[in-house]
Structure 1
Amino acid sequence: MAPQSPTIAIWELGLRLRERRYLLGLTATEAGRLARCTQAHVSEIERGRTRATKDKLTRLIKSYEFDSDESAELWNLHDHGAQRGWWNRYTGIFSNELLRFFGYEYGAESVRTYSGGLIPGLVQTEDYIRAVIRGAAPNLRLSEEELRVTARKTRQRRLVEDDPLHLTAVISEATLRQCVGGVAVLRGQLEHLARLVAEQPENLTVRVIPFSAGGFDALDGSSFHLVGFTSPRLPTLAWQETITSTSLIDHTMTVREYTLAYHQAEERALDREESLRLIRDTAKELS
């Protein structure tokens, strides 16, 4: 089972409150009156963007007529949501939206990634991480660079834990040849990637879309991730990264569009073994 994440606990609590409100036929404005807060605050709680205070949760549980078992589950989620995740120590350098993504990723069962430009962060070497950071922010202070490197390496631990994250990455052949950090850094990255894929067949798959594949929907788009969870109560989330912004996406139809784009990219990709062979061959070309 994936580790418990305070971010996911707060999110699940909000989802369950929203489901109950819908079942009772209440508007968010009416719920706000019951909780003695604004409609906007109720929406923030339901979306998992803020943790309900004890008094507001007490009023909602009573007003929504949850039974004792359900109430206990909600309070357990509330209490777990008060804990601090490893990502909380990085509030000074990352946006709240990115920190929330770290929290979702930490407690996820699976991540499906599409990348047309960079090797995905969860399988990057330290040298490659530094090259990516310096390319994006060349004037970054060394102390902040170190924090960013440490944060990414901390995220990577989920791939090697007792119940590891399942990562499937679909990447373009261009990603294997983009000389991030120079030839030596790229060669080390590809050798590292090939080694991980060979050593972790049960939870790590990397599939490469060759230049010969032709066009597909995600080709001119940005990198994105589809984050899945063990609990059937929790829907898949999408995370998108662009030059100017990053965003968590929970709208069902939008997530569906990303899922369709991912599947189309996957259909264009080589299989696992062919992809591994291409990664190794490309690394050898750099020797």
Structure 2
Amino acid sequence: MAPESPTIAIWELGLRLRERRYLLGLTATESGRLARCTQAHVSEIERGRTRATKDKLTRLIKAYEFDADETAELWKLHEHGGQRGWWNKYTGIFSNELLRFFGYEHGAESVRTYSGGLIPGLLQTEEYIRAVIRGAAPNLRLSEEELRVTARKTRQQRLAGDDPLHLTAVISEATLRQRVGGIAVLHGQLEHLMTLMEQHSENLDVRVIPFTAGGFDALDGSSFHLVGFASPRLPTLAWQETITSTALIDHTMTVREYTLAYHQAEERALDREESLRLIRDAAKELS
């Protein structure tokens, strides 16, 4: 199983409370009265953005008439949600939304990534990471840069272990040519990418969209990720990154649009062996 994540525990707890509320035909305002809180707070709990207090959860469980087994499961999720993930120590440098994404990614079964400009973060070398950070924030203090590098390297640990993350990355050929950090850094990054593809052949698939491919929906868009989970209770989430903002997306229809865009990009990509060949050729050109 994927590692336990308090972020996912809080989210699943909220989803199950919302499902029960819908089943009973209650509004969020009515549930807020039962829990002695505002409608907005109920919504935050149901979306997994905040952890319910013991008092509020006790009132909701009683009002929603959960049976003994379901109640035990909810309290177990509440307990797990109170633990600290590795990402909690980075609250001073990352937004709450990004920290939540780290929590979802940590406990995910799979991630499908599209990137048209940079090698995805889970596959970056340390030198490439530093070049990306310095390009985005040239005046960043060295101490914060070190923390950001450490956080990204910690995220990368999910590619290994007993139950590794299954990552499929669809990237444009431009990512192989953009000289982030200079020729030496890019060359090292491409060599690293090939090594990862060989070492993690069972859980890592990198697919390259060549310049010769036709147009597709995501071509002029930003990078995004589709995060999937082992539990059938948990829907797929989307994570989008732009120049000015980042966002976790849980709206079903919006996630569906991202999924369709991802599949279209994947259809334009080369297969695994052809992609590896293109990466190898790009690295040779830098030698």
| Pairwise TM-score range, normalised by the shorter structure | over 0.9
How far apart are the structure 2 equivalents of 1:49 and 1:112?
23
Alignment-derived partner of residue 150 in structure 1: 150
Following superposition, the deviation at residue 198 of structure 1 comes to 1.3
In structure 2, the partner of 1:231 is 231
Q: Shift of residue 120 of structure 1?
A: 0.1
Question: Could you say which residue in structure 2 is the equivalent of 1:2?
Answer: 2
Q: Summarize deviations over 1:154-194 as a string: whole Å, max 9, x none.
A: 00000011100000000000010000000000000000001
Q: Over aligned residue pairs, what C-alpha RMSD do you find?
A: 0.3
Residue type at the aligned position of 1:111: V
Q: Which residue of 1 aligns with 2:72?
A: 72
Q: Structure 1 runs of 4+ off > 2 angstroms?
A: none
Equivalent-residue separation in structure 2 for 1:41 and 1:199 (angstroms): 46
| 2:269 match | 269
Amino acid in the other structure paired with 2:129: I
Structure 1: where are the runs of 5+ without partners?
Answer: none
Matches within 5 A, 1:156-195: 156-195=156-195
Structure 2 distance, partners of 1:199, 1:22, is: 46
- How far residue 214 of structure 1 moved from its aligned partner, in angstroms, is 1.5
TM-score by length of 2: 1.00
Distance 2:189 2:79 in 1: 41
CA distance in 2, matches of 1:21, 1:34: 11
In structure 2, the residue matched to 1:241 is 241
Identical positions, percent: 90
Q: Distance in 2 between matches of 1:145 and 1:152?
A: 11
Q: Who is 2:102 aligned against?
A: 102
Shift of 1:25: 0.3
Whether 1:56 and 2:83 are equivalent positions in the alignment is: no
Look up the match of 2:203.
203
Count the aligned residue pairs. Answer: 287
| Structure 2, unaligned runs of 5 or more | none
Determine the structure 2 residue equivalent to 1:24. Answer: 24
Give me the TM-score of the superposition, normalised by structure 1.
Answer: 1.00
Equivalent-residue separation in structure 2 for 1:159 and 1:219 (angstroms): 27
C-alpha distance in 1, partners of 2:78/2:210? Answer: 47
Letter in 1 for 2:145: E
